[in-house]
Structure 1
Amino acid sequence: MNLIVRPFFDRATYTLSYVTHAEGDSRCAIIDPVLDYDSAAGRVSTDSAQNIVRYVKESGLQVEWILETHAHADHLSAAQWLKRELGGKVAIGEHIREVQSAFGRIFDLGTEFAVDGSQFDHLFRDGETFHIGTTPAQVMYTPGHTPACVSYVVADAVFIGDTLFMPDYGAARADFPGGDATELYRSIRRILSLPPQTRFFVCHDYLPNGRELRYESTVAEQRRENVLCHDGVSEQGFVQQRKDRDAKLGAPALMLPSLQVNIRGGKLPEAADNGVRYLKIPLNQIS
């Protein structure tokens, strides 16, 4: 099977979104799409998502799934806008409920905000199988960066979210509410136990040292070269490195607006009585 993977890079947030389908099969999935957000103006736009729409339509594809690897803290999700434009079911791992519960309290969303994942069309369990057209896919629960992270195994490819980055950048931070460096290490070792030729597609590339964009690696490359978790790095060693690095990091620039939208499955908050939608900025709640 020849799996086609088309990347879309949002330079403003260093985020990679993907459209994937088997060659000869018009049914596809969209993974981790970006809704553009101008924080200075408080304005959302769909330029990034429109690039995906154009590709899907020009390629004659039919969207079956819009897959989120986790509730992102660095960009807003365009899942709902794309669903309106192209169809498909919006899905995420079932542990999104834990993230909803934690951030529902932080944002004081009240009892009207359901923390049962019902904002999504489907919640995946660890090990659950599904299909993109005729292509089988499987869900791997890979927590640590957040409690809700999953990776999607599709043919010889795995869409790993923020679990790992390219080998010269390492792995995701683990200091968000519910994050855990030990769990992250174990999730990394789980995906690194896949066959050596398995292709990994990352959710971010930060272009370290000014190099050109990279988004694809393999299990073998990661095990050999990843600066934080190559073969031989112990759990204790990784956890200490991760904690030391995380202690020096500030909160992502779009964390507060992103999570309010993303725990809703990409839905914007309901409009107030004056017809305007508002995002909340809780003070002194995020370290």
Structure 2
Amino acid sequence: GMLCPPVPTGQIRPHCPLVSPELRQWEEQGELLLPLTFLFLVLGSLLLYLAVSLMDPGYVNTQPQPQGPPWDLLPQYSGLPSSGPDPGLHLSLCLQQPLRARHCRDCRRCVRRYDHHCPWMENCVGERNHPLFVAYLALQLVVLLWGLYLAWSGLQFFQPWGLWLRSRGLLFATFLLLSFFSLVAGLLLASHLYLVASNTTTWEFISSHRIAYLRQRPSNPFNRGLTRNLAHFFCGWPSGSWETLWAEEEVEEGSSQAV
């Protein structure tokens, strides 16, 4: 088999418990399309992982910003760290940060449309790499589910159970591990798709009561409907700053209250 030692010519190949029937069938039939597809999916997920972990997530420019709109529209940010090695530096970096940005203590930078800091990526997930992060989760889930199917096809339960455990124990442990990672990846993907569909972030969803521009509002001011939310997230359309959308929401609420 693909994972078993070769057999001399003329001898019958013994059963290899590490190779599933699907893999053995691919090898015997000389099928290359499916193994190559699986390999390219694994390679693609690795490249997406590197892209998300190495790229700029959307760091805020620390140069002084001009006064006036849209800065006059910004509420004071309530998420500044209260302690640290240099709180004055944090204050100087984040006092006039754009709307939906947040200072990350791990990266020591302010990130636009901050979602969360991912310890597995060793990088923040923000405005620039959030779409790639969602694509990585989706592709990784496909790879895990495919591997889970291959592991399941090779279990072939039989009695006595002691013999089955000795011959299938490692494959069964692999199946359990893949099941756990598939569940985690599926939950993460589902949660991020929900947040993307409503145009909110993990930070805003969890800490809306602590964020000045959200805690006194009954609904999300950035939600423009499912289609426009997805189009803006994945394609950057329609373009426009979050400050402008927030100001438009303020004007709409003021008009409705006046009526």
Q: Please tell me the TM-score bracket, short chain as reference.
A: under 0.3
With normalisation by structure 1, the TM-score equals: 0.20
Larger Rg: 2
Higher strand share: 1
> Higher relative contact order at CA 8 Å, sep ≥6: structure 1 or structure 2?
2
Higher helix share: 2
With normalisation by structure 2, the TM-score equals: 0.22
